[in-house]
Amino acid sequence: MITLQINNQSYTVDAPGDMPLLWVLRDLIGLTGTKYGCGVGRCGACTVHLDGKAEHSCKVSVGSVGKRAITTIEAIGNTPNGARIQKAWIETKVAQCGYCQAGQIMTATALLNHTPKPSDADIDAAMSGTLCRCGTYVRLRQAIKNAAKA
Amino acid sequence: MSNTASGFVESDAYIRDLMNAAAVAKTGNPLASASLPLDRRGFLKLAGAGLVLGFYLPGGVRADAETPQAAGAASQSPAINAFVRIAPDNTVTVYSKAPEIGQGIKTALGLIIAEEMDADWNRTVVEQAPIDAKVYGYQGAGGSTTIPRAWDQLRQAGAAARAMLIAAAAQQWGVNPAEITARDSVLTHAASRRSATYGSLASAAARLPLPDPGTLKLKTRDQYRLLGQRHRGVDDPKLVRGAPLFGIDVRLPGMVYASYAKCPAAGGKVKSANLDEIKAMPGVVDAFVVEGNGRPTELMSGVAIIASNTWAAFEARDRLNVVWDESEAARESSSELAARARQIAAGKFPANAEVNVGDVDRAFANAARIIEAYYEYPFVAHANMEPQNTTAWWHDGIMELWAPTQQPNRGQALAAGVLGLPEDKVVVHQTRVGNGFGRRLLNDYMCEAAAIARRVKGPVKLQWSREDDFTHDFLRPAGYHQFKGAVDKQGRLDAWQEHFISFTADGKNPSAGANYSYHLACACKAPNLRRGQSLMNLKAPTGPWRAPACNAQVFAQQCFMHELSLAAGRDHVEFLIDAVNRDVPELAPRSREMNFSPARAVGVIKLCAEKAGWGKSLPKGRGLGLAWCYSHAGHAAQAVELSVDANKQITIHRVVVAVDVGQVVELSGAESQALGACVDALSMAFGQQINIENGRIREENFDIYPILRISSAPAVIEVYFAPSDFSPTGMGEPVFPAMPPAVANAIFAATGERVRAMPFSRSGYRV
């Protein structure tokens, strides 16, 4: 049995230690906002925060999480930057299919947490690990800037 | 002398396929169904919550090329219907009948209904309609056809609801209905100073007869308050909070998870597998062989692993050893096919030209200038961000399916066929779809889930891995084009000969997506034109990929047009316009489905050139390139300004898109489609390539199949919509095809190097 702190709630799951956090969240706990995209840490759709740091949950084994606080897309709106990013996302109409957007929002929120006024280069560096197959990058960049101004 | 046949207009098998799928919903051939029975009482019930209106309405009309007002006259598609529900608290619910795949259709379809019924958009909820062809008609999303198909029907549905509400108010108030005005879900009779909400009138309205659609007065464009404006996405508040909207998010009580292993070489069958070892693995519930029916679009032979979660299923999959019977499987290699295509191109032009206008040989003999060129592009994958999946539950003699699909009706029919069930025993629930791009016009994963669920107690979610998704895709076919063109002494396009080498799956017809696009006949109107095709056998399955046929052929054709304009010593834009305006009767579209218009084409070319500053002088190393296309009922032009450094690193400074898709339904979403299409096209043009080796697809994940990253996306993409009174057509596809040739033409302008192959990375270019 492994106990996890997710979105300020405690969960105990019966999972082997090498099971990726992604599948623990999605299949065992039912938090499906975090998305499966590639399983090898190359698309960013599964991004969550561990103690505020953006991580690819498909590459994090559940046994390695320890006491670190997990935040997912379902609760990121409870943080000031998460709420700003979500609002900017809606107002800028970033999403097309929307599948990658949980990963984008989690990554962008982590960016603002560290860099409140990101430059284009900061945005490129932070966001280049999260792929968008619809190609929403132009508005995504604009939304991050709008959120940083808010 | 001329042999245009119907090639140009009917050749797009993909569209034809869609139309046939639409026919499943009703009777016979949709193109011949001008006189459908008009059953206006199709569905009407008074629900406890308020008014539920259902309509069978005629419509499904495509935009007409030259006379926007005539569009309503020719009904070509099967009847569909639309739903409106009004609750006592004045909340209006409208139903979106088509899949949301990222094209913004749920918002757009909702707006069309709300506009005509004068609903308060802020208090309108858009819900996904149930999948039921008998009620809704065709419910697919593909070929940029959803908006043109739905335009008349949804407007009539909205107008009918409004008319019934007005009639109810007129009865209650004892006034002339013509004196009642509607706005934001409230009716007002100014003379008697009375007003009432839609919600308060809904029950009374529901008791009235449905109006004859012929008597409904639709709004004129100047009366629109919602359409043409910017609106937010109706699901975005849920989306940004990670709400379970997608197929992959479906969870049912007691659900188990499945992985399905098929032969990596298309066409292979299971001989044997280590099922006992797999069944003993932790978390594994069962493992079994599924026979399949041998159809790649339905159910191929494979091994199903059932487990208590996705990861356990994937882990067991890694330990699965299958002995495949590959006697019928694909063995081809893409590099060998490319080499063979080059040999074929170097040989004789095919004897049976499918289009032969004028006298190409005589034109070449008298030409002022002749040039030849060979263009090619590779296979590419759809790489939908949401890997294919379907949740299936076999219970009470019914197969229930939850699927992210572009063709739910066809999925229902195919799953029923695979199971040997009547269609009404298969129920399909439409989920949001994490990318379509044509991949989900195929329903293979739905059939697999259904077949697996027949052998599982309780609900089961079939989840493809990313590797499954790449290796069992229906690829955009590679293509090879040998061109020979001539310009005359006046510098006009005089002759065009194109030998297109592509593929066949049945030894006779082009493989899916390997047919000639109709762009050529619209954009390259040479008075002497000969077009032929040579087909190589291919077992790897191909399929529709965003803007099928156009997505790569337009690259070859629009680049060669640029080469010809340079050979003619003409301004490229002038040369393009001349080739569009040329009157070559044999090349005129023959189908009513086509709404190609030379005037609209010239309009977008000119608009694009003007906004891009065509003709301005640029510093050394910087180039401006332009291309245009007619695709999926839309006219679009793109201009790209870029610079190239000594290492062939490209910086795109600016992209200008000019597009005419008729009236714009929802401006922000339409613009978003253009922005995304430019990025998607760059992604394909610069880096994407699928290699097949011995029948196996080599690229299995994003580590070696590059999707463009934000750091490579253009900083500035400007989108201009041509002012247009035409009925609206789709935005998903028309804005894609001209982007790669615009870039290649700009590279030539900047460097003098002609790039004749995609991906451009093959020539050392990076973005």
Model confidence pLDDT, tens digit, residues B348-382: 999 888 899 999 999 999 999 999 999 999 999 99
Higher pLDDT pick, B568 / B204 = B568
**DSSP letters spanning B630-655:** EETTEEEEEEEEEEE-TT-BEEEEEE
Classify residue B165 by burial, with Cβ atoms within 10 Å: 0-12, 13-18, 19+: buried
Fold of A2-71: Ubiquitin-like (UB roll) (3.10.20)
Q: Taking a C-beta distance cutoff of 8 angstroms, is the pair B743, B685 a contact?
A: yes
Cβ-defined contact of B241 to A101 (cutoff 8 Å): no
B212-230 pLDDT tens trace: 878 899 999 999 999 999 9
A20, A39, A134 member nearest B102 (Cβ): A134
pLDDT the model gives residue A150: 87
Q: What pTM did the predictor assign? A: 0.92
pLDDT of B569 > 60? The answer is yes
Residue B129 shares a structural domain with residue B214: yes
Shared-domain flag, residues B431 and B498: no
- On whether the CB atoms of residues B406 and B142 are closer than 8 A, the answer is yes
The yes-or-no verdict on residue B190 having pLDDT over 60 is: yes
What is residue B592's predicted lDDT score, i.e. its pLDDT?
59
User: What span, in angstroms and rounded, lies between the C-alpha atoms of B136 and B514?
Assistant: 32
Does residue B136 share a domain with residue B91?
yes
Confidence band for B69, pLDDT divided at 50, 70 and 90: very low
Contact B672 A100 (CB under 8 A): no
Task: Flag whether pLDDT at B34 surpasses 80.
Answer: no
- Kindly list the distances between the CA atom of residue B535 and the CA atoms of B294, B424, B564, in Å, as whole numbers in the listed order: 23, 40, 27
Classify residue B68 by burial, with Cβ atoms within 10 Å: 0-12, 13-18, 19+.
middle
Which residues of chain A lie closer than 8 angstroms to B257, CB-CB? 27
CATH number at residue B139: 3.30.365.10
Residues A102-150: tens digit of each pLDDT: 999 999 999 999 999 999 999 999 999 999 999 999 999 999 999 999 8
Nearest to B656 by CA among B599, B616, B598, B710: B616
Residue B137 φ/ψ, nearest 5 degrees:
75, -160
Task: Check whether residue B59 and residue B130 sit in a common domain.
Answer: yes
Structure ipTM: 0.98
- % of chain B surpassing 70 pLDDT: 89
CA distance B397 to B399: 7
One-letter identity of residue A69:
A
H or E segment at B395? strand B389-395
Is B1 a domain residue? no
Domain count within chain B: 3
Chain B residues whose CB is inside 8 A of the A82 CB are: none
For residues B430 and B397, state if they share a domain: yes
Distance CA B13, CA B23 (A): 15
Strand ranges for B87-212 from DSSP E: 92-96, 124-128, 180-183, 186-189, 194-197
Percent of chain B with pLDDT over 90: 81
User: Are residues B415 and B521 both part of a single domain?
Assistant: no
Tokens of A111: 């960016």
Distance between CA atoms of residues B673 and A135, nearest Å: 9
Tokens of residue B211, six digits: 């109006």
Average pLDDT for residues B418-437, to the nearest whole number? 97
Average pLDDT over residues B572-589: 94
pLDDT of residue B137: 80
In a domain, B2, yes or no: no
| Residue at token pair 């309009």 | B603
Which positions 78-137 of A are in contact with B (Cβ < 8 Å)? 86, 89-91, 93, 95-102, 105, 120, 123-125, 127-128, 130-137
pLDDT of amino acid B210? 79
Residue type, B680: D
Burial A11-34, CB ≥16 within 10 A → b, else e: bebebeeebbbbbbbbbbbebbbb
Judge: A139–B248 Cβ closer than 8 Å, yes or no. Answer: no
pLDDT average, residue stretch B659-677? 97
Residues of B in contact with A90 (CB under 8 A): 232-233, 236-237, 240
pLDDT at residue B238 is higher than 90: yes
Write the residue in B230, B241, B309 that is nearest to A27 by C-beta.
Answer: B309
User: By percentage, how much of chain A surpasses pLDDT 90?
Assistant: 99
Q: Where are the domains of chain A?
A: 2-71, 76-149
H or E element, residue B608: helix B598-612
Structure tokens at B313: 């299923």
Among B397, B430, B463, identify where a domain stops. B463
B105 belongs to a structural domain: yes
- The reply to whether B255 falls in a domain is yes
**Would you place residue B396 in the very low, low, confident or very high pLDDT band (cuts 50, 70, 90)?**
very high
Same domain, B115 and B142: yes
pLDDT over 50 at B14, yes or no: no
What pLDDT score was predicted for residue B370? 98
Put simply, the chain A residues between 18 and 57 with a CB less than 8 A from any chain B CB are 19-20, 23, 26-28, 30-40, 42-43, 45
Tell me if B192 is assigned to some domain. Answer: yes
pLDDT averaged over chain B? 89
Indicate whether B58 and B190 sit together in one domain. Answer: yes
B134 and B273 housed in the same domain: no
| Residue A27 DSSP code | I
Tell whether B422 is covered by a domain.
yes
**Full residue range of the structural domain in which residue B649 is found:** 348-380+475-763
pLDDT of residue A75: 98
B459 and B493 both lie in a single domain: no
pLDDT band at B82 (very low <50, low <70, confident <90, very high): low
Average pLDDT, integer, range B503-509: 95
Residue B58 has pLDDT above 80, yes or no: no
CA distance B676 to chain A (A): 4
* Distance between CA atoms of residues B218 and B240, nearest Å: 36
The nearest CA of chain A is from the CA of B207 a distance in Å of 39
Shared domain for B318 and B431, answered yes or no, is yes
Selecting from A73, A93, A124 the residue whose C-beta is nearest the C-beta of B242 gives A73
Give me the mean pLDDT over the B54-61 stretch: 34
Minimum-distance CB partner of B672 among A26, A123, A139? A139
Q: Which of B415, B432, B463 is the last residue of a domain?
A: B463
B485, B497 in Cβ contact below 8 A?
yes
Q: What is the mean pLDDT of residues B456-471?
A: 98
Task: Give, in degrees to the nearest 5, the angle at Cα B698 between B696 and B702.
Answer: 140
Which fold does the domain A76-149 belong to in CATH? DNA polymerase; domain 1 (1.10.150)
> In the predicted model, what is the mean pLDDT of residues B720-746?
96
- Two tokens, residue B349: 């032009």
pLDDT in tens, B609-620: 999 999 999 999
Domain boundary among B428, B443, B463: B463
- Residue found by looking up tokens 């994490």 in the block: B434
Above 70 in pLDDT, residue B737? yes
Please check the confidence at residue B664 and state whether its pLDDT lies above 50: yes
Q: With a cut of 90, say whether residue B136 has pLDDT above it.
A: no
pLDDT of B583-624, one tens digit each? 999 988 877 567 899 999 999 999 999 999 999 999 999 999
pLDDT tops 70 at residue B48: no
Assigned token pair, A74: 């379902």
Spatial CA neighbour of B519 closest among B547, B543, B477: B547
Chain A, nearest residue to B308 by Cα: A27
Q: What is the mean pLDDT of residues B21-47?
A: 28
Q: Tell me, yes or no, whether B333 lies in a domain.
A: no
Q: pLDDT at position B336, please?
A: 98
Residues B518 and B585 in one domain: yes
